C-alpha cells in the first residue's frame, strides 16, 4: 500500500558520500526545521523479511509496521553524532544548523528495537563502532534523544516512557 507519493524538497540532493550515496542539504537548514517527511509503502515484518538484503531500506514506524523507504529517505545514512533526527516517526528535523552541502544523517539506533546490528564506520569522534538497538545506547544518550523527541514512538512504549 502506498501511503502517499513523495515530492522531493528542492533543497535536498542524493549524491555520493564517503559511504555510498547520501542525502545532502544544498541550502542551509535552520535548527529545528523539518527537512522532509519519510514515505514509502507500508510493510509488515513478514514482508520485510521477504525482501532479504533490500530490508536495509526499511524504517520501523510501529509494532509490525515498516515503511519501505522511497528516495530521499532510503539514502539517509547513519551517524553516531547526527545532525538530524526523526520526530513523529517519519518527520526528519534538523538538530542543529546544517550548512549548505552538508550530508544529512540521523542515528539509526533511534529507530531500532530488535537485535539487528551493523558495524559502524561513520567516522565521528565518539563513533560507537556498532549500530544497535536503542536499548543498547548509553543511558545519558538515550535520555538526550528522548528529550529531543527523536525516538520512534513504538520504542517509547517498549521502554514504558
Ligand atoms: Zn559511528
The Å distance, Cα 110 to ligand 1 centre, comes to 13
- CA triple 62-68-69, angle to 5 deg: 105
Q: Check whether 6 has a pLDDT greater than 60.
A: no
The Å distance, Cα 107 to ligand 1 centre, comes to 9
pTM here is 0.90
Confirm or reject CATH 1.20.140.10 for domain 12-159, answering yes or no. no
The Å distance, Cα 81 to ligand 1 centre, comes to 7
Q: Would you place residue 7 in the very low, low, confident or very high pLDDT band (cuts 50, 70, 90)?
A: very low
The Å distance, Cα 112 to ligand 1 centre, comes to 15
List pLDDT tens digits, range 55-110: 778 999 999 999 999 999 999 999 999 999 999 999 999 999 999 999 999 999 99
The Å distance, Cα 53 to ligand 1 centre, comes to 21
The Å distance, Cα 106 to ligand 1 centre, comes to 11
The Å distance, Cα 125 to ligand 1 centre, comes to 8
Domain map of the chain by residue range?
12-159
Beta strands in the chain (DSSP E): 12-17, 20-25, 34-37, 42-43, 58-62, 65-68, 77-78, 84-87, 91-94, 102-106, 118-119, 130-131
Amino acid at each position: 500500500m502506498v501511503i502517499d507519493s513523495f515530492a522531493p524538497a528542492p533543497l535536498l540532493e542524493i549524491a555520493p558520500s564517503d559511504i555510498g550515496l547520501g542525502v545532502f542539504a544544498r541550502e542551509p537548514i535552520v535548527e529545528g526545521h523539518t527537512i522532509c517527511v519519510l514515505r514509502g509503502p507500508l510493510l509488515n515484518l513478514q514482508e520485510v523479511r521477504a525482501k532479504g538484503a533490500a530490508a536495509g531500506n526499511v524504517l520501523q514506524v510501529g509494532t509490525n509496521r515498516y515503511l519501505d523507504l522511497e528516495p530521499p529517505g532510503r539514502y539517509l545514512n547513519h551517524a553516531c553524532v547526527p545532525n538530524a533526527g526523526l520526530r513523529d516517526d517519519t518527520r526528519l528535523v534538523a538538530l542543529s544548523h546544517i550548512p549548505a552541502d552538508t550530508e544529512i544523517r540521523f542515528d539509526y539506533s533511534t529507530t531500532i528495537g530488535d537485535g539487528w546490528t551493523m558495524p559502524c564506520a561513520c567516522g565521528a569522534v565518539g563513533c560507537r563502532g556498532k549500530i544497535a538497538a536503542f536499548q543498547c545506547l548509553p543511558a545519558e544518550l538515550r535520555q538526550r534523544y528522548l528529550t529531543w523527541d527523536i525516538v520512534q514512538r513504538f520504542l517509547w512504549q517498549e521502554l514504558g516512557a
